[in-house]
Structure 1
Amino acid sequence: MSDGLKFISQAGFVHVEIPHGLDVSAMTIENLEDAYRKSELSKAKVVDNGFQNAVTEARKYRTENPGTKQNLRFKIAEIRDAELTIEISEDAMEAEAYVTAPYGGTTLSRGHILSCLREQEITAGIRREAIEQLIEHCNTALPGLPLEVTIARGRKPVNGLDARFKPLVPDARKRILRPQDRGDGSVDMRDLGKLFSVKEGEAVLRRIPATKGRPGFTIKGEPLPATDGTDRDIKAGKGTLLNPDNSDELIAEKQGMPTFIDNSAEVDEVLTMKDVDVGTGHVDYEGSVIITGSVGEGMRVKATGDITIAGYVDSAELNAGGNITVAKGVIGHQLAHDDEDDDDNFAPLSTRLIASGSVWVSYAQYAMLIGKHGVIVDKQLTHCHVITQGALCVGGEGKNALGKLIGGVVETTSDVSAGQVGAPAGTKTRIYFQQPLDASEADVEVNSLRNHLQIALRTIKKLLAAQQQLAKIPKLNERQQLMRSKITDELAHQQNTIATLRGRLSLVMDTPAPDLQLQVIAGRQLYPGAIVRFEDKFLRVKEHRGGTVIALRQHELIMDVLR
């Protein structure tokens, strides 16, 4: 029985009013709840035991006060407005809004949400669609249902891109250095691809200008600066020139092999020969040389570009201004010498490969391999002397290397990777880490600061001499007085400049050199007899180990399991 019940909103709560004429003995909890659910205030949150307490208290009052004409009123539900909480991330790049749909109370308005954002100083990156989503949730969701949305999001700064240089044709060096796919998933190490050449006038390199950085901001409107990309000019190299119709392009000046070095390109003429032996004599060529056969004992091949050998090199000397590629083997032997082959003396070898670029060979034994930018060996390196400022990779790179490095000496300023280092017989295999030969950024800055300091000192010397000449004049005219004033001002400026330069020079010279970090990776096996050295530090391997890394860290050599 619920006829006559009234539900009244008062002071944030919903009360049920039971008229004095209603028989409460026949009223049940179910009757009361059903009547409430049908009322306009049914979205309010029912208090704990609200219906039960109302029925119980009403019956009790009527029993204790029979014949009363008083209407009874009991609290059964609480009216709650929509709740909004905003949390800001530590970097002030995002704000999350947490909202709870109202229990019959006031919903959220756009103005209220914006006011809450302003209170937390959120002024930028506000997502209008998120505000609409919050409002719609409060108007349509079940009472008390929560919702989380990102209501504001800052914009991270995007640094501009440096000028880039896009080759428009394949790099002849890289083309040759790439073993060809057999079609069954394997590669043919003897087939290094067709020779690529360009025609006169063909575009070979394009400059893509640097881009501007895009500044960012936090949700509090704080600017986040971005750095513009560094721009550089395109530079014509040997055999190329600027395209007269496009100053951002290089074109070939002649037919030949294209190669790329950073912001420049070169086109080398190509000499192709079958073999180099006593019948052909030595080769000294301005350009690149391709030998489809082999280079015989005692022969010399010199080229300003690349040298590519499809066959073998046997006790010969190759000297290239670019890369050296030997599709098959490099073979030599030790030459007679008086010095003992200890840690500081190395036996001379009959085969020498010297490249200003990289050296790539299938395998080598008793050969000196000097590649400025790296030495790559496909299978095995045995009793060789390697000198490089780049990486030495034997059978792959890093822990994926499968080749063998046995005996010999490696002098490098970079990493060494091989599947096996040393041999079961304890063959002495020496790897010497060295400081990079190229000047560091600090060295470059020191030289620049010293040059500017010398210029400033020379300028002061000239200014003082001019000041002394003016001082000898008894009475200065107007022009001379103006000159004296300018000299005084310029002296003060140069003295400030010198003080600044000396301060910066002292700071740079006192800054410790960066820590050199190099490593030797033996991907599968490391045998006794292997020696790694850096300056006066030695690490000698005394036991057979599995995958191992020997790292140079903070000028110390550390050996650990390869992970």
Structure 2
Amino acid sequence: MFYKKTNVEGKFYEDEQMKIRISEDGMQAVCTFFPPSAGGRLMTKEELLKDLALNGIKFGIVEAEIDRYLNDRQYYVDYIIARGERPVNGHDAKIIYKFNTNLQAKPKEGLDGAVDFYDLDIIARVTAGDELAELIKEDEGRAGRDVRGRMVRPNKVERLNFKYGQNISLSDDGLHLISEVSGHVILDEENKVCVSNTLVIKKDVDISTGNIDYDGNVEVRGSVINGFKINATGDVIVGGTVEGVQISAGGQIILKHGIRGMGKGILKSEGNIIAKFLENATVQSGGYVVADAIIHSDVSAKGDVIVNSRKGYVNGGTIRSQTLIRIKNAGSEMGTKTNLEVGVDPALLLQYKNLQNKIEETVQRMEMAGKSIELYSRKLNNGEKLTPEKLSHFRVLAEEYKRDNDNIGFMQEEFLTLHEEIETQDGGVIEVGNIVYPGVKIAVVDAVLYIRDILKSVRFIKDGADVIATPLY
């Protein structure tokens, strides 16, 4: 700012001046001073402070720095004349769960690799009065101010509240969850703590019980007879045999005597699946799969697939795992077609294949509709009058073609996204401890190897664009 005065002859003189710069974040103001011309005057402290105020600087003025300048005027030198107060960031809220939320712990194996189905100890059990979770409240932090006096807020923090179901109480201070009953506790996909008692069926699931649909865990001490269904939000444990049935679980599925699926048996679990054997069944696991044998089944697991008992054979069908397949024997002397696939999330792969089929069907439908539309259009252009039925059919075809044409672009874009996601998968490992027979197909992500000669004790991994076999031991 310039200060000027006029003498009696109308002459002007430049007074001492200063230039003010405020940092982009508003947390610092810097002044540079310039000398007056001959005959000009020096500014006073009051004028300097007034000039700061006129430039909007209202907070954090460093008067010691102003005094330092006024006592020893150094021109063309930067003086930090004001400093803001930076905010102090707090921290997010946090919930500490007092039970095992990771149900990926493997069951114990004997010396021969077989699983002890009678002592799995992988269910999170609770007793009435147990603490289930503790809430650490968020810290909001402390706001700051910039040199203009404006509030500068700290980073936003995440606030959390407990999500919980029945049979659970909240402590008086709101920071602890307590189980009101003895049973099982799970943390579902929405981070909701759920405690429930187990529905125990001491006999077979058959015509006397009907299908089972239960909000919690189900334990069947008998068998599940062909054609019946079990649906549970928690774990499903079956002590007897399982035939051509459908079992769906929000937790784990444990079959102590396996399943003979008869081509229609389905096991679907958001957690792990453990069975003595899997035969002619479709199996989908959100965790790992452990069995003594898998025969002519379609098995998909987000985690590992372990068939590592003394015989530990996989014969026929397809086994998919995102991470690891570990088995003793793959295929058979008869050359049974057996597919082992690792490295891609099975759910992602299924979505990819379904979309691929949908695109192919849409393209075929558009080609057929296009030919019919072209035929109708040619007739109309030639002056031919169409019957009401044909005209209606023409309009329906045109609408369907337009709808398919609008959708095909989105589907192809989604297909490319899924394809890129699959290609970025890190890959997995397939380990066969004993024999791999001809007729087995090995796939690691997008690389494939067909087995034409017997291999023993090998590990299959992806190397560049190929699958290679290396010694296991």
Q: TM-score range by the shorter chain?
A: 0.5 to 0.7
- C-alpha distance in 2, partners of 1:319/1:392? 19
After superposition, the Cα gap between the structure-2 partners of 1:315 and 1:258, relative to the gap in structure 1 and judged at 3 Å, is same
Residue 365 of structure 1: aligned partner: 279
Q: Does 1:244 align with 2:149?
A: no
Offset from partner CA, 1:401-460 (integer Å, 9 cap, x none): 962222211133222111222222222111234633789xxxxxxxxxxxxxxxxxxxxx
**Equivalents in 2 of 1:393, 1:163: separation in Å?**
38
Q: Does the Cα contact within 8 Å between 2:300 and 2:346 map onto a contact in 1?
A: no
- How many positions carry a matched residue from both structures? 292
Q: Provide the rounded CA distance (Å) in 2 between the counterparts of 1:241 and 1:299.
A: 32
Q: Which residue of 1 aligns with 2:436?
A: 526
**Which of 244, 249, 264 is equivalent to 1:315?**
244
Query: 2 CA distance for matches of 1:387 and 1:196?
Result: 25
Task: Kindly report which structure 2 residues correspond to 1:58-77, keeping only aligned pairs within 5 A, or say none.
Answer: none
Asked whether the equivalents of residues 438 and 451 of structure 2 are also in contact (C-alpha less than 8 Å), the reply is: yes
Q: Distance in 1 between matches of 2:239 and 2:294?
A: 19
- Distance in 2, matches of 1:375 and 1:539, equals 24
> What do the CA deviations read for 1:96-141 (whole angstroms, capped 9, x no partner)?
xxxxxxxxxxxxxxxxxxxxxxxxxxxxxxxxxxxxxxxxxxxxxx
Q: Which residue of 2 aligns with 1:552?
A: 462
Pair 1:172–1:434, CA change in 2 (3 A):
closer
Aligned counterparts of 2:170 and 2:132: Cα–Cα separation in 1: 10
Q: Tell me how far apart the structure 2 counterparts of residues 518 and 254 of structure 1 sit (CA, whole Å).
A: 42
1:30 maps to none
3-state SS, counterpart of residue 523 of structure 1? strand
Mapped pair 1:426 → 2:353: no
In 1, Cα distance between the equivalents of 2:442 and 2:197? 42
Deviations 1:304-342 (A, max 9, x none): 111111111111110111111111121122xxxxxxxxx
Q: SS at the partner of 2:326?
A: strand
Q: Which of 189, 198, 209 is 1:280 aligned to? A: 209
Residue 382 in structure 1 maps to residue 310 in structure 2: no
Shift of 1:237: 3.7
Q: 1:515 to 1:187 in 2, by over 3 A?
A: closer
Tell me, yes or no, if the aligned pair for 1:404 and 1:419 is still in contact at 8 Å: yes
Q: 1:198 aligns to what?
A: 126
Shift of 1:514: 4.0
Match of residue 266, structure 1, among 181, 190, 194: 194
- Change in Cα spacing, 1:194 to 1:542, as seen in structure 2 (3 Å) is closer
Q: Is 1:356 aligned with 2:283?
A: no
* Paired amino acid for 1:559: A
Distance 1:195 1:354, change over 3 A: closer
Q: In structure 2, do the counterparts of structure 1 residues 559 and 242 end up closer, same or farther at CA, with 3 Å as the change threshold?
A: farther
How far did residue 354 of structure 1 move?
0.7
Gapped regions of structure 1 (runs ≥ 5):
1-161, 211-229, 334-348, 440-510
Which residue is 1:453 aligned to?
A: none
**Residues 107 and 116 in structure 2, CA contact (< 8 A), matched pair in contact too:** no
1:170 CA displacement: 6.4
Q: Which position in structure 1 is the counterpart of 2:89?
A: none
Structure 1 residues 374 and 195: alpha-carbon distance in aligned structure 2, compared to 1, 3 A threshold: closer
Give me the whole-angstrom Cα distance separating, in 1, the residues matched to 2:336 and 2:239: 31
Question: Which of 328, 345, 359 pairs up with 1:436?
Answer: 345
Among residues 314, 327, 336, which one is paired with 2:256 in the alignment?
Answer: 327
Partner of 2:407: none
Task: Call closer, same or farther: CA 1:413–1:188 in 2, change over 3 Å.
Answer: closer
Q: Aligned letter for 1:517? A: G
1:370 Cα shift? 0.9
Does the 8 A contact of 2:313 with 2:328 survive in 1? yes
How big is the shift at 1:243?
A: 3.6
Q: Give the whole-Å Cα distance in 1 for the aligned partners of 2:322 and 2:308.
A: 19
* 1:521-540 Cα shifts (integer Å, max 9, x gaps): 10222211110235764211
Task: Give the Cα separation in 1 of the matches to 2:273 and 2:159.
Answer: 29
Structure 1 Cα separation of the partners of residues 121 and 242 of structure 2: 19
**TM-aligned CA distance change 1:303 to 1:517, over 3 Å:** same
Using the TM superposition, give the Cα deviation of residue 248 of structure 1 relative to its aligned residue in structure 2, in angstroms.
Answer: 4.9
CA contact (8 A) 1:432 1:532 kept: yes
SS of alignment partner, residue 455 of structure 2: coil
**Deviation per CA, 1:277-315, whole angstroms, max 9, x where unpaired?**
122111111221111111011111111111111111111
In the TM superposition, what whole-angstrom CA distance separates every residue of 1:360-404 from its partner, at most 9, and x where no partner exists? 111121111111122111x111111101222111127xxxx9622
Q: Distance in 2 between the 1:236 and 1:307 partners?
A: 24
Distance 1:253 1:326 in 2: 29
Which of 514, 517, 529 is the aligned partner of 2:427?
Answer: 517
Cα gap change, 1:288 to 1:423, in 2 (>3 Å): same
Residue in 1 that maps onto 2:471: 561
Q: Within 2, Cα distance between the matches of 1:298 and 1:537? A: 39
Cα distance 1:437–1:380, how it changes in 2: closer, same or farther (>3 A)?
closer
CA distance in 2, matches of 1:425, 1:530: 11
